[in-house]
Structure 1
Amino acid sequence: MTETTTATDLASIRADRLTGAGEFWAAKIAKSADNARLTYKAAGVAVGSVASRISAGKHQFLVDEPAGLAGDDAAASPVEYALGAIISCQVVVYRLYAQQLGLVIDELTIEAEGDLDVRGLFGIDESVRPGFTDVRLTVNIAGPGTQEEYEELGRLVETRCPVQDLFANLTPVSAVVAKV
């Protein structure tokens, strides 16, 4: 099988999956709007110096910090995973809406940078927030569409990406601490 055949097959498989998912969810939601509500779960256990072993569904992954932040540098940090989360969510949403709009994406790469001031993390300056102060995405798309078509797709993705929404909007978080 040649690279062209493989790429064509992959594009066809992806198109079928994206179309099928859209049709499935449209039908499910048409029966009841309650069917649109999903709850995701993950659990973590502390390991190593400051690392966590995370379980999410049938998947497990390690999260750690670099040595400068008390870690063993055995895995990406929580904020690196956050950047990875926005990138991977954007990939899904770019593919989904490109399919709906009939746009072809031959290649898609996304880079994310986030600025964080550790004075907030370490409580050195209470006026400094502990999270990112700015996140920048660079999206590179190759395909037969025009620059304007891909820019319009990008604007649509910005309004539909669940993880970008987490970064852009306040999301309530609550915690219960229990001694066991």
Structure 2
Amino acid sequence: MTETTVTIDDAAQRSARLGEAGAAWAKRIGANPDNANLTYTAAGVGVGSVATRISAGKHQFLVDEPAALAGDDAAASPVEFALGAIIACQVVVYRLYAEQLGIQLDDITIKAEGDLDVRGLFGIDESIRPGFSDIRLAVSITGPESQERYEELGRIVEARCPVQDLFSNTTPVSAVVTKA
């Protein structure tokens, strides 16, 4: 797997990018509130035993399952990607609100753990949901601020993180199945 990363080592560069993005969105939304509404799209095609090749914009990635779930273990599983999604979203929102609130955040590391009972997935026990029953995030922040200040930031992130909202609230999902 090839991983491409853009590294911003300079806190001033990160601050400038966050400030510019915030200002640009404020201007767009101020001109027309409908500009705040975004639609994200992704498409997937089955490959291998149970893997899926996902296309999202100009990006492609593989999602698979471990052998115990009939996969080839060629990539992270869907639920691991879900944990990765909440981690990535939290990092963005922590940095965004740290910038807005003037809270110095030098580095951030987040670990996510999710509990899933496969009896729900396999239909063994209909009383058990097929998704996570609990997700725990361990957020480690370095910087000169007080513990209380970082906890305040954490509360704001919990309230504003789009992916955490997906896990915390019911989101309508609809599907149309067609024969190709």
Could you say which TM-score interval applies, normalised by the shorter chain? over 0.9
Q: TM-score, normalised by structure 1?
A: 0.95
One-letter amino acid matched to 1:82: A
Look up the SS of the partner of 1:26 in the other structure: helix
What is the CA–CA distance in structure 1 between the aligned matches of 2:8 and 2:16, rounded to whole Å? 12
- Change in 2 beyond 3 A, CA 1:123/1:139: same
Query: For residues 97-136 of structure 1, what are the structure 2 equivalents within 5 Å?
Result: 97-136=97-136
Look up the SS of the partner of 1:141 in the other structure: strand
Query: For residues 21-170 of structure 1, what are the structure 2 equivalents within 5 Å?
Result: 21-170=21-170
Runs of 4+ in structure 1 deviating by more than 4 angstroms, as ranges, are none
What is the CA–CA distance in structure 2 between the aligned matches of 1:9 and 1:52, rounded to whole Å? 34
One-letter amino acid matched to 1:84: G
- Tell me the equivalent position of 1:178: 178
Consecutive unaligned residues of structure 1, counting only runs of 5 or more, are 1-6
The answer on whether the counterparts of 2:44 and 2:55 sit within 8 Å (CA) in structure 1 is yes
What is the CA–CA distance in structure 2 between the aligned matches of 1:13 and 1:85, rounded to whole Å? 24
Deviation at 1:9, TM superposition (A): 5.5
Deviation at 1:10, TM superposition (A): 1.8
Compare the two structures and name the one with the higher helix fraction: 1
Q: TM-score, normalised by structure 2?
A: 0.95
Deviation at 1:43, TM superposition (A): 0.2
How many correspondences in the alignment?
174
One-letter amino acid matched to 1:110: I
What is the CA–CA distance in structure 2 between the aligned matches of 1:63 and 1:57, rounded to whole Å? 16
What is the CA–CA distance in structure 2 between the aligned matches of 1:23 and 1:114, rounded to whole Å? 36
What is the CA–CA distance in structure 2 between the aligned matches of 1:165 and 1:175, rounded to whole Å? 21
Deviation at 1:66, TM superposition (A): 0.2
What is the CA–CA distance in structure 2 between the aligned matches of 1:64 and 1:36, rounded to whole Å? 33
Deviations 1:24-48 (A, max 9, x none): 0001111111000000000000000
* Aligned CA-pair RMSD: 1.2
